[in-house]
């Protein structure tokens, strides 16, 4: 056989095998027996052995292969993968509907989809070829699990058209695969998986893709990271496009004109849920129009145009043995119930939050009571009610203390609040919790400095406030448990890196009351430096979009404290950045900019901006961001590890900038 004949036969086998794979794994309607598919695949394997130079990335043989990984690389999502707000009742749904109607009027349509209980993932296609897949991670940065996702046969390696985009979906383990897997693990005397979701997540985080391949996972795609280059104007049309391209989309979706129709859809699937071959834990409701989604916008964490209704949680009975108290970083005293261990929704539960004193009184909770518990949203354990009929008389009433359980200061309850608070600024528990918040991912993001490490440092009096973190030495860290040379090096390096964070990270980390991550970004962008913010008047603060009187008052009160002024001074001396390093979008105008009317493509990894931030900034200045390079492209922005797009742009003679040049122009 000549090389030309082999190439022709290989392409023919690719087309046939991809067609049969799609029929079997996506349409669930195979047209040939399994034995015939296996026969064709064997032919392809033999041909590729003879002509290894003809093996292509989209070959059906390339789904599983290569050595096991040593670790997962980080991947930055082009568009953030936001979480959804939750609804647990009809009241919550009608509240959501009311907010939507207040914002965009009555002329809109919802689309309802089953909420698959699996692991959220993002798939990256370039010119129709699957090139990268990652976990959701923190929404901005996930882990590269491409090799494992390639083992899911319902994910096409090549689409039926040459699109370049990110698509989002939920990878899951079908019930039949879950039962088979646990049966095998039981025979091998291995620990069983608690539920299909845990099994799917565990499978996709295996460093050896052959293990993931053996788990028979599946996927449903539910949207795109950015619809901009596709021409679709509704979410439902986007789902239809994904299906046309060969991606697996759940067919049980439904458009609804009113919230009553949404509730009917939910009631239907509450009943029919057990008949599915996969687990669902709720229903996702979205405004269908993409223009209206854009108009509604999003908070720092969740879109305002979508909500997830969570099915009522499984309820079980157990005994409450004791109640312990914890002190949060704002001084709030939170009671937590200790329970006799019990399995709820696949996991063992031993603790449940009681929230505050009013809840304890309202539910008439006593020590020794038998209680009904459930997981709110299948995540957070809570006490539903007390089985008073089971009381024997040996139960003991519980009352909240009058003194802080940590520092013994008198507790107070402010007017209009339900929480008891410790207002001692030197309370060890508050300081410890504040430090845990300061180093957290959304704040200073110091890797290797979790709750246990902070606890050790605090107990050994190595740190008493946030500034002390930046003065830690190797000798001090050597005295801590489980801190070897490598851990110390990594921690000190992470601390050093965090000094260069943009101002909003530090501002959020300081834990000013009412100032969340989104408000911190807005304030940092507006005032540009910590000094200017600290000197701002109430009038200055109220001029900032989305900053109200309560937040303004909290900011002024915070920066007026002498201990805060001292803290800021020590942070400065340690070399911690106090300035905003991002782009000042509130000063941008879309007229007469270098980007106006141009089509621009972003590729590679950007260091100072997320891909979404760069896109927003360019569009604010009148540019159009496209996902693929063509003759119509005016400019390519190339970050690190730029690949085929850079090559194509160079071949077409398109102007290429690096990130530094982009930042210069944006700041102009």
- The residues that are catalytic are 115
Residue 617, helix vs strand vs coil: helix
CA 645, 139, 279 angle in degrees (round to 5)?
110
Alpha-carbon distance 399 to 379, whole Å?
Answer: 27
Alpha-carbon distance 69 to 204, whole Å?
Answer: 12
Task: Report yes or no: 339 and 319 within 8 Å, Cβ to Cβ.
Answer: yes
Alpha-carbon distance 60 to 373, whole Å?
Answer: 48
Residue 255: its H or E element: strand 254-256
Alpha-carbon distance 469 to 205, whole Å?
Answer: 32
Residues near 150 by beta carbon (within 8 Å), at least 6 away in sequence: 62, 63, 64, 130, 133, 157, 209
Alpha-carbon distance 8 to 21, whole Å?
Answer: 20
Residues near 178 by beta carbon (within 8 Å), at least 6 away in sequence: 193, 195, 196, 199
Task: Report yes or no: 653 and 633 within 8 Å, Cβ to Cβ.
Answer: no
Task: Report yes or no: 315 and 375 within 8 Å, Cβ to Cβ.
Answer: no
H helix runs in 195-323, sequence order: 196-204, 209-213, 235-244, 259-272, 290-296
Q: If 0-12 CB within 10 Å is exposed, 13-18 middle and 19+ buried, where does residue 573 land?
A: exposed
């Amino acid at each position: 056989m000549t090389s030309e004949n082999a190439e022709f036969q290989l392409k023919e086998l690719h087309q046939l095998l991809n067609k049969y794979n799609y029929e079997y794994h996506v349409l669930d309607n195979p047209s040939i027996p399994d034995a015939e598919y296996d026969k064709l695949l064997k032919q392809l394997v033999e041909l590729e052995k003879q002509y290894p130079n003809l093996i292509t990335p989209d070959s059906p043989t390339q789904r599983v292969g290569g050595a096991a990984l040593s670790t997962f690389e980080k991947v930055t999502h082009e568009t953030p993968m936001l979480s959804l707000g939750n609804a647990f009742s009809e009241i919550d749904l009608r509240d959501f509907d009311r907010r939507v109607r207040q914002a965009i009027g009555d002329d809109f349509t919802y689309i309802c989809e089953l909420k698959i209980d699996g692991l959220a993932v993002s798939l990256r296609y370039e010119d129709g070829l699957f090139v990268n897949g990652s976990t959701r991670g923190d929404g901005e940065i996930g882990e590269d699990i491409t090799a494992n996702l390639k083992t899911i046969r319902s994910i096409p390696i090549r689409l039926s058209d040459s699109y370049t985009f990110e698509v989002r979906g939920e990878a899951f383990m079908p019930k039949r695969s879950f039962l088979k897997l646990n049966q095998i693990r039981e025979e091998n005397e291995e620990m069983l998986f608690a539920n299909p979701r845990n099994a799917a997540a565990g499978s996709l985080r295996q460093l050896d893709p052959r293990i993931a391949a053996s788990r028979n996972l599946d996927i449903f795609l539910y949207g795109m990271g950015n619809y901009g280059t596709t021409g679709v104007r509704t979410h439902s049309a986007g789902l239809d496009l994904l299906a046309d391209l060969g991606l697996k989309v759940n067919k049980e979706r439904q458009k609804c004109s009113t919230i009553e129709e949404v509730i009917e859809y939910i009631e239907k699937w509450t009943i029919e849920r057990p008949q599915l071959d996969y687990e669902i834990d709720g229903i996702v409701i979205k405004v269908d129009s993409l223009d209206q989604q854009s108009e509604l916008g999003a908070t720092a964490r969740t879109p305002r145009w979508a909500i997830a209704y969570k099915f009522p949680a499984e309820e079980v009975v157990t005994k409450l043995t004791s109640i312990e108290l914890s002190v949060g970083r704002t001084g709030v005293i939170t009671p937590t119930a200790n329970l006799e261990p019990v399995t709820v929704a696949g996991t063992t539960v031993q603790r449940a939050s009681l929230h505050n004193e009013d809840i304890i009184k309202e539910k008439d909770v006593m020590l020794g009571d038998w209680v009904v518990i459930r997981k709110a949203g299948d995540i957070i354990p809570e006490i539903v009610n007390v089985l008073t009929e089971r009381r024997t008389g040996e139960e003991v009433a519980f009352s909240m203390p009058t003194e802080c359980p940590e520092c013994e200061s008198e507790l107070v309850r402010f007017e209009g609040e339900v929480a008891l608070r410790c207002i001692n600024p030197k309370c060890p528990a508050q300081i410890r919790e504040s430090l845990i918040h300061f180093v957290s991912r959304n704040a200073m993001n110091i890797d290797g400095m979790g709750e246990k490490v902070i606890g050790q440092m605090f107990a050994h009096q190595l740190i008493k406030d946030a500034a002390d973190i930046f003065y830690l030495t190797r000798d001090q860290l050597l005295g801590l448990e489980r801190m070897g040379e490598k851990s110390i090096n990594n921690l000190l390096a992470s601390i050093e890196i965090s000094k260069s964070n943009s101002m909003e990270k530090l501002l959020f980390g300081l834990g000013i009351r009412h100032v969340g991550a989104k408000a911190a970004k807005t304030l940092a962008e507006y005032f540009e430096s910590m000094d200017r913010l600290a000197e701002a008047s109430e009038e200055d603060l109220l001029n900032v979009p989305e900053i109200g009187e309560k937040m303004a008052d909290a900011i002024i009160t915070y920066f007026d404290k002498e201990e805060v002024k001292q803290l800021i001074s020590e942070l400065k001396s340690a070399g911690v950045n106090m300035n905003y390093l991002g782009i000042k979008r509130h000063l941008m105008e879309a007229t007469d900019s270098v980007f106006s009317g141009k089509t621009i493509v972003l590729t590679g990894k950007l260091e100072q901006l997320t891909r979404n931030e760069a896109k927003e900034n360019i569009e604010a200045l009148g540019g159009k961001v496209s996902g693929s390079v063509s003759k119509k492209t005016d400019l390519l922005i190339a970050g690190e590890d730029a690949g085929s797009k850079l090559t194509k742009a160079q071949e077409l003679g398109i102007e290429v900038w690096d990130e530094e040049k982009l930042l210069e122009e944006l700041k102009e």
